[in-house]
Amino acid sequence: MRLKFTKMHGLGNDFVMLDGISQRIKLSPEKIRALADRHLGVGCDQVLLVESPRTPEADFRYRIFNADGGEVENCGNGARCFARFVRERRLTAKPQLLVETSGGLLQLNLLENDEVGVDMGAPILEPERIPFTADRHAETYPLDVDGEVFTIGAVSMGNPHAVLLVEDVDSAPVATLGPRIEQHERFPQRVNVGFLQVQSRSEARLRVFERGVGETRACGTGACAAMVAARLRDLLDEEVQLHLPGGTLTIHWSGPGQPVTMTGPATIVYQGQIVL
Q: What is the torsion angle, in degrees rounded to the nearest 10, for the CA atoms of residue 164, residue 252, residue 86 and residue 100?
A: 70
Q: Please, are residues 17 and 8 in contact by the beta-carbon 8 Å criterion?
A: yes
Query: 81 catalytic, yes or no?
Result: no
Q: How far is CA 109 from CA 50, 160, 223, in A?
A: 17, 24, 18
Q: Would you say 47 and 27 are in contact if contact means Cβ atoms under 8 Å apart?
A: yes
d(CA 268, CA 73): 23
Of 44, 75, 81, 224, the active-site residue reads: 75
Amino acid at 47: V
40: amino acid identity, one letter: L
d(CA 46, CA 207): 17
Gyration radius from the chain CA atoms: 18
Amino acid letter at 77?
N
Helix (H, G, I), strand (E, B) or coil at 164: strand
- The Cα-based distances of 40 to 12, 44, 64, 69, 112 in angstroms read 20, 11, 21, 15, 36
Catalytic residue chosen out of the listed positions 44, 81, 219, 224: 219
Which of 143, 202, 195 lies closest to 168 in space, CA to CA? 195
Q: List phi, psi (to 5°) of 3.
A: -115, 135
3-state secondary structure of 264: strand
Report d(CA 207, CA 172) in Å as an integer: 9
Residues tagged active-site = 75, 219
